[in-house]
Amino acid sequence: TDELIVENSLVKLTFDTTTGGLKTIEMNGIREDIHQSFGIYKGFRGNNGEANNRSSGAYVFRPDGDIEVLSSNQVDLTFYNGTRVKEVYQQVNEWVSQVIRIYDEVNRVEFEWLVGPIPADDEVGKEVITRFSSGIASKGKFYTDSNGREMLERVRNQRETFDPNMSEAISGNYYPVTGQISLQDDEKRITLLNDRAQGGASLNDGELELMLHRRLLNDDAFGVGEALNETQFGTGLIARGKIYLILDEASEKPKHAERLLQHELDQHFWKFFSKSNGVPSVN
């Protein structure tokens, strides 16, 4: 068939088997068309002589042109149908892949991404993002956490207290995301929770994106004095991490479940291993 449906008692995912991409998500009694893609921003390379000639580097994100979307072509798809966990493996290209999983009785979707080594043979630095696109009419508004604490409202191309120069419209709309980023309309709300500090934005209504991995070939002259080009293994780093997605009804305040999940992500169980033929008891 041209659709792969992956579901448990709480979550239903639909994939397009011809493109390999995610099509819809159903959970909490809500259904939404959500398309996920991966993309590359080419890092600007300048001589750092003037502000408009500054390179993209460790401190500054300056894309050279618009995004190049990776997943528009065929994505290889493999499905593992377990009883407690169901997993979909997506191979986007040689150095971008992902596992999408749902656990039984868990009300969220897990995206475990793997990016790298980012090729630099073409002498172009690359900044890799993932983007979730939906039909939610967010009207330019989205929300990011304040260093893990309260959620702050962000408005695209605006600042709260001054008129910004938005000549760099992509990076000018990026905000730090250390816990979660969300958007909503009157009915639906999408929240992405991450496992590390990342940059994030909503460049179009209904869209959320997160920066996953960067490899850049120039220093940005903001102090570090070297390019963000980690080559200690000869080829560049492989980064692996998780994003959790919750689709729920709209709410004026962050949901309890989202806040609880954020704590669980930061403070998951510590695991210790011992050899034993019997199970010890806790005193």
Partner 1 sequence: SENLESLSQAMGIMQHHDAVTGTEKQAVARDYDRMLFKAIVGAESNARDALRSLTNLTSGEFESCLDLNISACAFTQSTANNVVVTLVNPMAHASTQYVRVPVKNENYIVTDEKGREIPSEVVPVPWQVLALEHRSNGTQHELVFRASVEKVANFLIRVLPSPKSVVKNTAQFPQEKAIDE
Binding site for partner 1 (CB under 8 A): 4, 15, 17-18, 20, 58-59, 76-85, 87, 89, 91, 97, 99, 103-106, 112, 114, 117, 197, 223-226, 228, 230, 232-233, 235, 238, 240, 263-264, 267-283
CA-based radius of gyration for the chain: 20
Q: Measured from the CB atom, is 139 or 263 closer to partner 1?
A: 263
- Residue 140 Cβ, how far from partner 1 at the closest point, in Å? 27
- Closest to partner 1 by CB, 18 vs 204, is 18
- Residue 78 in tokens: 């493999």
Nearer to partner 1, 110 or 185 (CB): 110
Q: Which is nearer to partner 1, 82 or 135 (CB)?
A: 82
Q: How far is the CB of 83 from partner 1 (least distance, A)?
A: 6
In whole angstroms, the minimum distance from the beta carbon of 205 to partner 1 comes to 29
Could you tell me the smallest distance in angstroms from the CB atom of residue 80 to partner 1? 5
Q: Which of 225, 234, 188 shows the shortest CA–CA distance to 208?
A: 188
Q: How far is CA 163 from CA 86, 98, 171, 173, in A?
A: 47, 39, 16, 13
Does the bond joining 117 to the residue before it have cis omega, within 30 degrees of 0? yes
Give the shortest CB-195-to-partner 1 separation in angstroms.
9
What is the number of other CB atoms lying within 10 angstroms of the CB of residue 13? 22
CB of 222 to partner 1, least distance (A): 8
| Tokens, residue 113 | 């991404």
Which CB atom, from 92 or from 208, has the smaller least distance to partner 1? Answer: 92
Greatest Cα pair distance in the chain? 68
- Residue (85 or 124) nearer to partner 1, CB: 85
Cis check: omega of the bond before 254, within 30 degrees of 0: no
61 or 143: CB nearest partner 1 = 61
CB of 226 to partner 1, least distance (A): 6
Three-class secondary structure of residue 3 per DSSP: strand
**Contact (Cβ atoms closer than 8 angstroms) between residue 90 and residue 77:** yes
168, two tokens: 């760099």
Q: How far apart are the C-alpha atoms of 187 and 63, rounded to whole Å?
A: 34
**CA–CA distance, 140 with 251 (Å, rounded to integer):** 17
